[in-house]
């Protein structure tokens, strides 16, 4: 399926989205609409996004976002799914672990290093840093008292 055909499928789903195209079709949705669209993209016969390649957390200074790279092993097409404007004070977004089990690892990593909590995640705890660690080192506002990391934003 071409990017244009994928775009038509997304439009037919009626979701509020900003759609653009680079190498892959990129679909940006509000964070509270992300799970429903992800489920539709996985279950829809035309898209069958059955494999989650990665999720990454993004710090936009005033808010957070998440970027998902999906593929269909059946149809051999790719899509980038994005969400942003996740509240900095209480960053939460719905987990996609019930759709793609590999999300469990990615979401824990993002939680540990960025501080974004994933609702309904089966094991939301730190992955790399000790539970006593204060803060999330990949945030742009993170302050490292030992001066190992110095950020200028």
Residue 57 counted as domain residue:
yes
pLDDT at 79: 97
Residue 110 counted as domain residue:
yes
Domains in the chain, number: 1
Residue 82 counted as domain residue:
yes
Residue 151 counted as domain residue:
no
**DSSP secondary structure letters along the chain:** --HHHHHHHHHHTT---EEEESSSEEEE--GGGHHHHHHHHHH-TTT---EEEEEEEEE-SSSEEEEEEEEETTTTEEEEEEEEEE-SSS-EEE--TTT-TTHHHHHHHHHHHH--EEET-TT-S-SSS-TT--S-TTSTT---TTSS-----
pLDDT at 1: 85
Q: Tell me, what CATH number does 108's domain have?
A: 3.30.460.80
pLDDT at 147: 62
Residue 150 counted as domain residue:
no
Residue 153 counted as domain residue:
no
Q: Are 55 and 1 in contact (CB under 8 A)?
A: no
pTM over cut 0.85? yes
pLDDT mean over 127-134: 92
Residue 143, pLDDT above cutoff 90 = no
- What pLDDT, in 10s, does the model give residues 42-89? 999 999 999 999 999 999 999 999 999 999 999 999 999 999 998 999
pLDDT mean over 22-47: 95
What is the domain range of residue 78? 3-119
């Amino acid at each position: 399926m071409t990017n244009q055909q994928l775009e038509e499928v997304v439009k037919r789903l009626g979701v509020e989205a900003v759609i653009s195209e680079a190498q892959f079709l990129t679909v940006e949705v509000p964070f509270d609409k992300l799970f429903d669209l992800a489920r539709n993209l996985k279950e829809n016969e035309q898209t069958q996004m059955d494999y989650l390649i990665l999720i990454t957390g993004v710090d936009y200074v005033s808010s957070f976002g998440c970027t998902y790279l999906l593929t269909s092993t059946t149809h051999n097409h790719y899509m980038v799914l994005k969400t942003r404007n996740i509240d900095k004070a209480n960053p939460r977004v719905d987990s996609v672990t019930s759709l793609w089990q590999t999300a469990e690892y990615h979401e824990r990593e993002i939680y540990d290093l960025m501080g974004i909590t994933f609702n309904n995640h089966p094991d939301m705890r730190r992955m790399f840093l000790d539970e006593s660690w204060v803060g999330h080192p990949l945030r742009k506002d993170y302050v490292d008292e030992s001066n190992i990391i110095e950020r200028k934003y």
